[in-house]
Each structure stands twice: as C-alpha cells, then as structure tokens.
Amino acid sequence: MADYLSMTKPQLLEEQAGLQQQYDAFAQKGLKLDMSRGKPSPEQLDFSLGLLEMTDHIDDTGVDARNYGELEGLPETRRYFASLLGAKPEETFVAGNSSLNFMYNMVDLGWRKGFVQGEKPWKDQERIKFLCPSPGYDRHFRVTEVFGFELLIVPMTPDGPDMDIVEDLVQDEAVKGIWCIPVYSNPDGYVYSDETVRRLAKMDTAAGDFRIFWDNAYFAHHFTKDHKTCLNILDESRKAGHEDRPLMFCSTSKMTFAGAGACAMAASVANIKLASDFLFSTTICYDKINQLRHVRYFAREGGLEAHMQRHAAVIAPKFKTVIKTLHAELDHHGKIARWTEPVGGYFLSLFTLDGCARRVVELCKQAGVVLTGAGAAYPYGKDPSDNHIRIAPTYPPLDELELAAQLLCICTRMASVEKLLEIA
C-alpha cells in the first residue's frame, strides 16, 4: 500500500479508478444507515424499561412528588445529583428532562437579567462574545448564536481548550463565557487536564460576569475500568475566589431514555438563587416523579455505575470496530487522516486532509450512510479548514456499523485522491 502523498499523477489516477470500483460496489448494497447524531441504540434504551414500572412518589423527607412545589427539585434528588456533581445539595438545582434547555435558560438569565448585581444584562451591553472550543457541540454553539453572541473559535487540544488563547481572549470585557465539555468531550473524547481546569478557575477576566458553562454530559460514560475524571471546577473556582464563575450541568438522557431523563445544575448558592428567582415565573415545578424514579431506579439496579457498565458493554465494541477499521484502511496511505480514540463518551473525531471533509460526507451520503454534516462541530457550522467529521457510532447495529466504517474509509481515500489530483 503506497503513501498517497508521494504518488505521481498516473499512480493517483490508477488508485482513483480502483477506489471508484469499491465505492460502486458499496453503492449497490442499498445501504440506509444513519450515523448523524449520538443516539442511544434500542438495546441501550431497553436497559431502562424498568423505569416505567416505578411508582415511588414520596421522597425520603416525606415530600409528595405528585404535587406542586420544590422548584429546585425534591430534597432527595438534590442530594443525589449533588453527589454526582461534587457539590452540596443547596448548590444543586434538579430540573426537567433537558440539560440543554437548562443551559439555554441560564444564557437567557444572563441576557435578560444579568449575573452580577450592578452589571448590565448581556442584551444591554454593546458587544457580547462567547468562547467555543472547537470542534465542539453544535447545539451549545446554536444557543449562544440565537442570543446574538459573536462566537469565537478556541482550538481544542488533548488537554482541553488551548488555554493560552483562552487567557488572551478573556481580556476583552465583551467575552462573557465559554462552553466546556470536560470529560469525554463532544466530539473528540478528550478529558480536561488538571492544569486546564485550574487555569479556567483562576484566570483573570475583564468581564465580571464571565461564566463557564460546564456540561458534564459524559462523566459516567466510561468504556473501561480506568474511569477518566477531571478536577471539580466548582471547588477550584472557589479556591481561586471565583465561586460564581462555573455553572455545572449533567443529565441522565443518555443513561436512561433520551429526552426523558432528569437534569441538574450545580453552582454557587448565589447562582442557584438567581436561577430559582428567574425560573419562578416559567413553571411551578419540574417533573418530580421522573426525578425520584430515576434516583430510586439506579439504586434498585445496583447503582449508576452498574447501570453504565451495561451501556459500556454495548458501546465499547462499536467504538473499537470503527477505530480498528480506520487503522486497517487508512494507516498505510500516508497522513491523509487522523482520528481520536476515546475511552468514553459518545463520539470520536475524524480529521481529513484540508478541504476534504465535506466531500467525504457527500460521498458517504450518496452511497447510503448519513454522517453529521461537515462543519457542524464549529460555530456557525463553518469549519475553516473543512477537515473535521464527527463520528457517532452508538446507534447502528454492530454489523451495519462495520459496513459504514468501511465505506467511510473508502470515501476518505477517494476525497484525498481527488484533492491531491487537483494540486498534482
């Protein structure tokens, strides 16, 4: 197998003809596979069917979950989620089914009311910007885009966002926050280093109302017994004298039923009060029955860790299949692609030659495999290098996933040859 980067034009043309034959054979299979979103598979969803049988409605303090009240969550569920997030119950707010919705509400709070007494709401400030470690989560970026923020790309590294760039950008008082997925980041699968967390916590920012939106979406989604973790941003911020800076979120939506889980936020007591006062006008309370049944169900099933081990048994082989295929099909063709190899989470990143990602996605789609759109992991959906593709292996059955991964590699090679022929 030859290195594409050292091939002559006639060799590239010969390789292109061979790849076209392989591609046509896949196209004739009539594939209809969707790897565009990080969805749990039906097998994973079946793990939580017992939730539907839960009838618990009185929490351990005697509060009836069927009735109104307890806007910040049942006392029992606040204690439980506080333990997951490494916070105190009074620093924890348990809400509805969507952590993304909770994050939207907190951006809305800053935009309408403001986070700091005496500071103008974000909507009344002349310029507002938000830091977006990229590649990152498209729905995060969409939230701040909707509110009119200028979205600034911060390159991701295996240790988290490039902190030299972050520390430089936050000297602008228009920069109001940063999106973070600290454990098994979406889509790279990276885990923030201790140094990164400490620097985020203690850095000086020109804006007093700067907030870290800390989405701990995958903190329990491990593939191996070596559980990756990072420092607690709330603790580190408190040590640095910035306890109001972080807003920590988590959700059970990829642990139980997607879109029907429970979510929580941990933050300083001051921020919890701000959130409670702000949300008071939007709802009397959230679905406390769902909150309680999650806590009780995890306990019945041997704890959250045991529950997530069942998920790992399904997900880990899928990631292994994709990564093994990428190595087998792409390793011997020169540096036409690289990819991340996470040990947890829901995604991995594939990086192609510059200018090839959109073409790879297009070729895959034409042959029956739908991937996340190229550029989706960047602000405004625009990847400046057009070289990144988010891979979501969780939903397809293993046999279909293997076919999809093989096609992905053929399309990556085809797009690489096309690009090299353009400049040959």
Q: In this predicted model, what pLDDT tens digit does every residue of 297-353 receive, in sequence order?
A: 999 989 999 999 999 999 999 999 999 999 999 999 999 999 999 999 999 999 999
pLDDT tier, 116 (very low <50, low <70, confident <90, very high otherwise)? confident
Full set of structural domains in the chain with CATH: 4-30+306-423 (3.90.1150.10), 56-303 (3.40.640.10)
Would the pLDDT of 74 be above 70? yes
Can you tell me the distance from the alpha carbon of 46 to that of 236, in angstroms, rounded to the nearest whole number? 38
* Mean pLDDT, the chain, integer: 96
Name the residue with tokens 């017994």: 225
Q: What is the pLDDT of residue 107?
A: 98
Q: What is the pLDDT of residue 218?
A: 97
pTM for the model stands at: 0.96
Q: What mean pLDDT is predicted for residues 372-400? A: 96
Q: What mean pLDDT is predicted for residues 226-251? A: 97
User: Per residue in 164-210, pLDDT tens?
Assistant: 999 999 999 999 999 999 999 999 999 999 999 999 999 999 999 99
Would the pLDDT of 369 be above 70? yes
Q: Which residues of 47-80 are buried (b: 16+ CB within 10 A; e: fewer)?
A: bbeebeebeebebeeebebeeeebbbbbbbbbbb
**CB-based contacts of 115: which residues, under 8 Å, 6+ apart?**
109, 209, 211, 244, 271, 274
User: Per residue in 21-32, pLDDT tens?
Assistant: 999 999 998 888
Would the pLDDT of 117 be above 80? no
Would the pLDDT of 354 be above 70? yes
Would the pLDDT of 118 be above 80? no
Q: What is the pLDDT of residue 31?
A: 85
Name the residue with tokens 């709330």: 234
Would the pLDDT of 1 be above 70? no
Q: What is the pLDDT of residue 30?
A: 86
Would the pLDDT of 141 be above 80? yes
pLDDT tier, 36 (very low <50, low <70, confident <90, very high otherwise)? confident
Q: What mean pLDDT is predicted for residues 267-282? A: 97
Can you tell me the distance from the alpha carbon of 424 to that of 9, in angstroms, rounded to the nearest whole number? 6
Ramachandran assignment for 318, one of left (phi > 0), alpha (psi -120 to 50 degrees), beta (any other)? alpha
pLDDT tier, 33 (very low <50, low <70, confident <90, very high otherwise)? confident
Q: What is the pLDDT of residue 225?
A: 87
